[in-house]
A and B are shown apart, each in its own frame.
Chain A
Amino acid sequence: MRIAVDTGGTFTDLILEDGTGKRFVFKRPTTPDDPVRGIFDALAQAADSRGETVEVLLSQTDTFIHATTRAINAILTGTTARTAFLCTEGHPDTLLFREGGRIEIFNFTVEYPRPYVPRSLTFEVPERISHDGGIVKALDEEAAVDILLGLNDLGVEAIGVCLLFSTINPRHERRLGELIEHHLPDIPCTLSHVVNPTLREYRRASSTCIDASLKPVMSTYLRNLGHTLQATGFAGRFLVVTSRGGVRDGADVAGAPIHAVNSGPAMAPVAGRFFAAAETGADTVVVADTGGTSFDVSLVRNGRIPQTRETWLGQTYRGHMTGFPSIDVRSIGAGGGSIAWVDSGGMLHVGPQSAGAAPGPACYNAGGVRATVTDAALVTGLIDPAFFLGGHMPLDIHAARDAVERDVASPMGTGPERAALSIMEVATENMVQAIENITIHQGVDPRSAVLVAGGGAAGLNAVAIARRLGCRHVIVPTAGAALSAAGSLMAELGDDFSATLPTSSRHFDIGAVNRVLAELAARAAAFVSGPGAGTIAHETTFFAEARYGHQVWEIEVPLRGSRFDSEDDVSRFISDFHDMHEAMFAVRDSHSDVEIIHWHCRVRCRLRGDAGQDSMPTAARDNHARRVVLAGHGAIEASVADFSALATDETLEGPAIIESPFTSIVIDPGVSYFRSTHGSLVITLEAGGDDARASLAARRW
């Protein structure tokens, strides 16, 4: 038996997969003061449903997988360790200047962000290494020790070390690490070339200081949780979800907690890949996770999940970039709680403000008075006021209608239903824009992708989004309400080893590249025989980060093998680069030199076998019909069916509303759907109008 727990901002999601491969979803409120309590609340609920105690449940559990917002919360609430930053002499303001950049160019009311580590805790170490690893100035150990001894008086609790070109020659950083261990043995420290071996000093310094600052809080948290689980009968493997969409042993993450910074959303594309492959065999997927306040989009491209180093804590350019490779997940403020408003010029906006869970939409009657997407969905009949969250939370349709009337209909001079429909349309458009930005960024044509919709508010406009994007299939997994937790169960144990070795297509240094690749392969092999021992299967893939000469942004290009045996291998790789560049940017420059900067080896160890099946708690409501208002159709009668009551593999046609305790899925007229054997709702849109779009798009220059 396996258990995955995702501690989110509002809810703690738990998915239990029993010995027969059946999955059950549970949801309890998150307890921010002590997240472990929320986890045990969810465990109690799961145990209850089986008529067992938590002890019995845990004693049968062989794997416990945890995704947590603990790390990101510590950063956002400023409760990380008091951290010092040691840098190369002459470069103390790397964290202050960051890489420049600004948003909202005409907005001068926003203050410049403080550096992740204040200047008063930043120390210049006399030393310098050059671009080729040469030592320009030897490390002044005496001065370094003076700095370290001074840190004691400043109450420093963690140290990040990032020296220029340490990824090319780590000698000075290593020596500083030794000195810290000797003089300050109780203070955790992170060395940049170890935690994030990449060029660009800001990104590396940022990951290094973030990692160091999280070490005390995360090791305490993970140790406590591990101990509490053990004390309650758990004797299996404790794994933590990483920002790269894999899992690692809890102790490893405590030692390098930056891996857990994006722990939560990283698993949505893993789940999306799994469900799309299981239901339709597709390997290119758009994964949309709609919660109450945020809409997260991620991708699967040809079976791979794209990563990025440009993950921001807080707003882009107004917070800190982690600089650490992480699943590329884009978030916008859009969800059930997004507030609809009309500006002084008469234009309708939906978000980015949100009523959140508290005070919530007007229809919650919990203090919120402004019209939200949930209110609009209620007014248009997409949600049944008596069956929200399985009927646990009755909604006030009158409050919703009043809010929509006051905030939107009357300023726009229209009726409440038309206004509510407009709110749904604008919300859909905002989400589509977020999706198109990431698909074009990663070179994916959404028309060739399957849309996997997860999250409580996903079903309201998943079909509308797919129609706009030109996707033919939408999958709404039953476990979609807990998409990240579901992804955790599918996750593979993994790590990513990388090295910096700049070379180019013109002067490709086969010998040096092969040496680097062999070294990476050896580290991967050690992982497979270490943490990966006993897993079902493993896969090792190599890729490079490369760019055209003079470009500064690299793209990831997979290698065809684990080494280059001939000039032909090199030519094939270069040609793969051109193809990838053209796919992503519609530009190919065959005559240009190609520069390769970083080399990676990614290892994945499979922890599980078959697909399993999602189980849905039955609600036992009879099928009926309801009046709904849909874009392009107006007011129509739609049949309303309970998800759990749908026959497996029977194809039906909209208009319909499929309801479950977690979500309400809107099926437009002419759109067909069925419930699959794995327990997902699989929706197929008619291609008609979209074929015309596709042929237009195919007519390239």
Chain B
Amino acid sequence: MDGIRLATISSRMQGICQRMANTLMRTGRSGVLNTAHDFSCCILSFDDSFVAADESLPVHVLSGPDIMARHLRAFHPDLRRGDAFLNNSPYHGCSHPADHTILVPVIDDDGVHRFTVCAKAHQADIGNSRPTTYMATARDVYEEGALIFPGTRVQQDYEDVEDIIRLCELRFRVPQQWRGDYLAMIGAARIGERELLELGAEKGWDELNAFVDEWFDYSEKRMTDAIRSMPSGKVEATTRHDPFPGLPEDGLEIRVRLEIDTHAGIIDIDLTDNPDNLACGLNLTEATAIAGAMTGVFNSIDHTVPPNAGSIRRVRVHLREGCVVGIPRHPYSCSLGTSNICDRLENAVVHAIAQLGNGWGMAECGPLLPPATGVISGTDPRNGEHYVNEIFLFHTAAGASAQADGWLTLTAMGSAGLCLLDSVELDELRFPMRVYRQEIAMDTEGPGRRRGAPGAYVEFGPVDCEMSVAYASDGTLFPAEGVRGGGRAARARQIRRDRNGREHELDACAEVHLEAGEKIVSLTQPGGGYGPPHEREPARVLEDVVEGWISPDRARDTYGVVITGDGDVDHAATQELRQRLSGMLEDRPVSADEEGAR
């Protein structure tokens, strides 16, 4: 092992990914790219192994780019410098069709394929049959309507293949926005290509190959060490997605069988005991089924273990073909392949790990797509132009870890908090809308020794026009659960407020049409708690009361902390109350932990 080569070249690789990502973010056009950070940049070895990524969405990179690169070489054995390829095929390694991915082979001066760089970004529109990239109701890929590219050459000799560009421009809504995002991805990939060519010229390709091998061995060792510090055991966890169109009436149960073998340093995750593909857009892709399971693992271990093909060798994920949490069969739709079921999968994994020992795993997080982060569309009366874009108002979702309260702006486990939130001023300038209120919703958090993030209350609507809002708000029926005695979160809700101020409860998954003057209220899903609430330090509970996160009643009833009239903790009363609360827990036939584990 050459510790110096590892340090310097891994730092170079990381730097290259950062600069690709910076280019993509600063030049992207759609909100989902430049604000929500719904993109990723990574480097793959010549034989398709994942080497390095920017701080990217884990579900984009932990698996997927490797599969896409493999298909790329199979489809195009004649890779040449100057080529670029587009892949968004859920059947060929892409995460879901909205994630357009540009793959550029890095070819040295002798024509040898050395690396592949990959820039992936969620598009504002991909030509679906409805103006949203999240087609929950699509029975199949035909009804979904997206153009599917399984690794199609879009540049040759550094020039666009105009046939493909024209095809896209005719099909995608707001084509100039797509074109801008396409250029941003190409720009990012080309920067990665240029810098890798320079690195190869400077260090020599043999040296880089030797680095890649060592880097994987090093990362595998780090992962083995991390697993060896965990408790061994075999556990099963289930979670249930809300009943959406196309899902069973009582929702969809997801089952994870997880085994940690600390002696062998292996984590084994079996996802095969799950239902067959469903006639809706919620099926996972091969990429997201693997990456979702991996995300749960990486969230639960020493965070300094580098994620790449080496560390991943120690995590085995078993998938089944034709399974909703597995390898999808054409033409089943995977329109929401990165969000709903994938979020449930990630949560089930951290939940399972939490069952193995105190201090490990996490509480569950809320899902990604409430109306507060829905896709809005319509025609702007100020300029007559059509718009369709995902907005990012306040959204929280984070479950607690054993060490920290839920990170307020996580917005779902899969998005890892990378998502930036919109400026109200910018949104109102760009779209004919008004944001009437957004703030945290008191007493909604999953309580615990470490508590989940509370939900957000968000109210907005169109100004002087109509507007469609598409969303898929899982957690409306089955909210995020706590772990190890931590409590479950409040449910998500969505409400239409008509022009007379009357409230109408909305479905969990819908495309809602708002008339001028109407508003939509989104109560986003909070996160679950970790550990018993009555073990939370009274000073933290007091701060939550003073700051308006929880009410004094909730402090008393749920956390067992009594607060005096002048705003201090009544320690004697608190101690007495907490003794009663913990006694009550011991008397219960089913412990909160078991209940949390369902």
Give per-residue flags for B222-243: 1 if the beta carbon is below 8 A from chain A beta carbons, else 0: 1001000000000000000000
In the complex the two chains form, is B298's CB within 8 Å of A106's CB? yes
Q: Number of A interface residues at 8 Å Cβ cutoff, please give it.
A: 76
Q: How far is the CA of A441 from the CA of B406 in the complex (A)?
A: 32
Q: Does A579 contact B (CB under 8 A)?
A: no
| B11, B201, B404: the one within 8 Å of A692 (CB) | B201
Which of B25-33, B87-95, B262-270, B329-337 faces chain A? B25-33
In the complex the two chains form, is B177's CB within 8 Å of A550's CB? yes
Q: Does B218 contact A (CB under 8 A)?
A: yes
| B202, B404, B429: the one within 8 Å of A111 (CB) | B404
Q: Does B152 contact A (CB under 8 A)?
A: no
In the complex the two chains form, is A437's CB within 8 Å of B404's CB? no
In the complex the two chains form, is B15's CB within 8 Å of A199's CB? no
Looking at B362, B417, B440, which has the most chain A CB atoms within 10 Å of its CB? B417
Q: How far is the CA of A549 from the CA of B435 in the complex (A)?
A: 22
Q: How far is the CA of A28 from the CA of B379 in the complex (A)?
A: 65
Give per-residue flags for A306-342: 1 if the beta carbon is below 8 A from chain B beta carbons, else 0: 0000000000000000000000000000000000001
> A residues within 8 A CB of B394?
93, 97
In the complex the two chains form, is B19's CB within 8 Å of A437's CB? yes
Q: Does B517 contact A (CB under 8 A)?
A: no
In the complex the two chains form, is B405's CB within 8 Å of A112's CB? yes
| A105, A110, A426, A593: the one within 8 Å of B7 (CB) | A426
| B35, B201, B434: the one within 8 Å of A552 (CB) | B35
In the complex the two chains form, is B403's CB within 8 Å of A108's CB? yes
Q: Does A624 contact B (CB under 8 A)?
A: no
Q: How far is the CA of A591 from the CA of B177 in the complex (A)?
A: 11
> A residues within 8 A CB of B426?
199-200, 552
In the complex the two chains form, is B34's CB within 8 Å of A551's CB? yes
Distance of B336 from chain A, by nearest CB (Å):
21
Q: Does B194 contact A (CB under 8 A)?
A: yes
Q: Does A602 contact B (CB under 8 A)?
A: no
B-facing residues in A429-455 (Cβ within 8 Å): 429-430, 433, 436-437, 440-441
In the complex the two chains form, is A549's CB within 8 Å of B176's CB? yes
> A residues within 8 A CB of B177?
549-550
Q: Does A568 contact B (CB under 8 A)?
A: no
B-facing residues in A132-175 (Cβ within 8 Å): 136, 164-165
Q: Number of B interface residues at 8 Å Cβ cutoff, please give it.
A: 95
> A residues within 8 A CB of B8?
425-426, 429
> B residues within 8 A CB of A441?
22, 26
B-facing residues in A643-687 (Cβ within 8 Å): none
> B residues within 8 A CB of A553?
25-26, 34
Distance of A96 from chain B, by nearest CB (Å):
7
Q: Does A201 contact B (CB under 8 A)?
A: yes
> A residues within 8 A CB of B301?
106
In the complex the two chains form, is B429's CB within 8 Å of A131's CB? yes
Q: Does A119 contact B (CB under 8 A)?
A: yes
In the complex the two chains form, is A199's CB within 8 Å of B420's CB? no
Q: Does A412 contact B (CB under 8 A)?
A: yes
In the complex the two chains form, is A96's CB within 8 Å of B7's CB? no
In the complex the two chains form, is B7's CB within 8 Å of A344's CB? no
Which of A34-42, A278-286, A581-589 faces chain B? A581-589
> A residues within 8 A CB of B409?
97-98, 100-102, 112
> A residues within 8 A CB of B190?
586, 701
In the complex the two chains form, is B6's CB within 8 Å of A346's CB? yes
In the complex the two chains form, is A108's CB within 8 Å of B407's CB? yes
In the complex the two chains form, is A346's CB within 8 Å of B218's CB? yes
Q: How far is the CA of A373 from the CA of B455 in the complex (A)?
A: 47
Q: How far is the CA of A91 from the CA of B422 in the complex (A)?
A: 13
| B183, B202, B392: the one within 8 Å of A587 (CB) | B183
Give per-residue flags for A235-268: 1 if the beta carbon is below 8 A from chain B beta carbons, else 0: 0000000000000000000000000000000000
In the complex the two chains form, is B407's CB within 8 Å of A112's CB? yes
In the complex the two chains form, is A201's CB within 8 Å of B424's CB? yes
Q: Does B371 contact A (CB under 8 A)?
A: no
Q: Does A120 contact B (CB under 8 A)?
A: yes
Q: Does A696 contact B (CB under 8 A)?
A: yes
Q: Does A275 contact B (CB under 8 A)?
A: no
Distance of A37 from chain B, by nearest CB (Å):
37
Mostly, the A contact residues are loop
Q: Does A622 contact B (CB under 8 A)?
A: no
| A106, A347, A552: the one within 8 Å of B6 (CB) | A347
In the complex the two chains form, is A91's CB within 8 Å of B403's CB? no
> B residues within 8 A CB of A119?
547-548
| A165, A346, A430, A693: the one within 8 Å of B1 (CB) | A346
Q: Does B299 contact A (CB under 8 A)?
A: yes
In the complex the two chains form, is A90's CB within 8 Å of B6's CB? no
Q: How far is the CA of A98 from the CA of B420 in the complex (A)?
A: 9
In the complex the two chains form, is A164's CB within 8 Å of B417's CB? no
Q: How far is the CA of A345 from the CA of B174 in the complex (A)?
A: 49
Give per-residue flags for A187-210: 1 if the beta carbon is below 8 A from chain B beta carbons, else 0: 000000000000111100000000
Q: Does A68 contact B (CB under 8 A)?
A: no
> B residues within 8 A CB of A592?
176, 179-180
In the complex the two chains form, is B201's CB within 8 Å of A696's CB? yes
Q: Does B437 contact A (CB under 8 A)?
A: yes
| B303, B411, B436, B453: the one within 8 Å of A109 (CB) | B303
Q: How far is the CA of A141 from the CA of B539 in the complex (A)?
A: 37
> B residues within 8 A CB of A552?
31, 34-35, 426
Q: Does B249 contact A (CB under 8 A)?
A: no
In the complex the two chains form, is A106's CB within 8 Å of B434's CB? no
Given contacts A422-B4, A589-B183, A696-B198, contact A551 B28 (CB under 8 A): yes
| Contact sample, A vs B, 15 pairs, CB 8 Å cutoff | A97-B408, A100-B419, A101-B417, A105-B55, A105-B58, A106-B303, A120-B548, A131-B428, A347-B3, A422-B3, A433-B11, A433-B14, A550-B174, A552-B34, A587-B23
**Residue positions of B touching A, CB distance < 8 A:** 1, 3-4, 6-8, 10-12, 14-15, 18-19, 22-23, 25-31, 34-35, 37, 55, 58, 82, 158, 174, 176-177, 179-180, 183-184, 186-187, 190-191, 194, 197-198, 201-202, 218-219, 221-222, 225, 298-299, 301, 303-305, 307, 362, 392, 394, 401, 403-411, 416-421, 423-426, 428-429, 434-440, 453, 459, 463, 546-548
- For the complex of A and B, list the 3 residue pairs with the smallest distance between their C-beta atoms, beginning with the closest: A102-B417, A701-B158, A550-B29
